[in-house]
C-alpha cells in the first residue's frame, strides 16, 4: 500500500493549493518574513580571569530597544522592536507592520560583583560585562616556602 497525497480541489488551482500548503506547513516567521516572528538571538558567554561577558547578537536594533534587569541573582535581557511602514498611492493604501521581541534570563554565579555590571552595544552586538568579585578572581601561582 502506498500513501498518496490527496488534494481536495482536484488540482483545479494548484497555485492556491501550494499557497495553503506553504502557509500551514511552515512556521509563521518562515512564511511572512523575519519582521513578524518572535526570535531568540544567539548568545555567547565568555569567561576570563577578570569577568564574564555575555554577547547577544542583535543586528538592526538600537541600544534603546534593550532592557537589562537584575533581580537578586537573575539577569534578564529583553528587547522589543516595532516597525511600521505605510504607503498611500492614489486609490490604495498599503500598511505593513512588524513586531520582534525576545527575553533571555541568566542565573548569575555568586562570584559576580553585581554592583559593577555594565553594558554596551556595538555593531549589532550587545555586550554585558559581569565583573568577578576580588576574592573570586584567579590568583597567579606562587611558591610557598617551607619553614
Domain boundaries, the chain: 11-38, 41-136
117 pLDDT more than 90: yes
Q: What is the pTM of this model?
A: 0.63
Q: What's the pLDDT tens digit per position in 48-74?
A: 989 999 999 988 888 999 999 999 999
Instruction: Tell me the per-residue pLDDT of 78-106, one tens digit each, with 9 for 90 and over.
Output: 998 887 777 877 777 777 777 788 899 99
Mean pLDDT calculated for residue range 121-147: 90
- Residue appearing with cell numbers 558567554: 45
41-136 CATH pick, 3.40.50.10890, 1.10.10.10, 1.20.1250.20, 2.60.40.790? 2.60.40.790
- The larger pLDDT score, comparing residue 17 to residue 89, is at 89
Cα–Cα separations (whole angstroms), residue 115 to 29, 60, 70: 39, 29, 10
Amino acid at each position: 500500500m502506498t500513501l498518496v497525497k490527496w488534494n481536495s480541489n482536484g488540482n483545479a488551482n494548484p497555485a492556491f493549493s501550494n499557497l495553503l500548503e506553504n502557509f500551514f506547513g511552515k512556521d509563521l516567521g518562515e512564511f511572512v518574513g523575519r519582521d513578524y516572528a518572535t526570535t531568540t538571538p544567539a548568545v555567547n558567554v565568555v569567561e576570563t580571569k577578570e569577568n564574564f561577558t555575555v554577547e547577544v547578537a542583535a543586528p538592526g536594533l538600537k541600544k534603546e530597544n534593550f532592557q537589562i534587569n537584575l533581580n537578586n541573582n537573575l539577569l534578564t535581557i529583553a528587547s522589543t522592536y516595532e516597525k511600521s511602514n505605510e504607503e498611500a498611492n492614489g486609490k490604495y493604501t498599503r500598511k505593513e507592520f512588524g513586531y520582534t521581541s525576545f527575553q533571555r534570563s541568566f542565573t548569575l554565579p555568586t562570584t559576580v560583583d553585581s554592583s559593577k555590571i555594565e553594558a554596551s552595544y556595538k555593531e549589532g552586538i550587545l555586550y554585558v560585562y559581569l565583573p568577578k568579585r576580588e576574592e573570586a578572581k584567579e590568583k597567579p601561582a606562587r611558591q610557598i616556602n617551607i619553614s
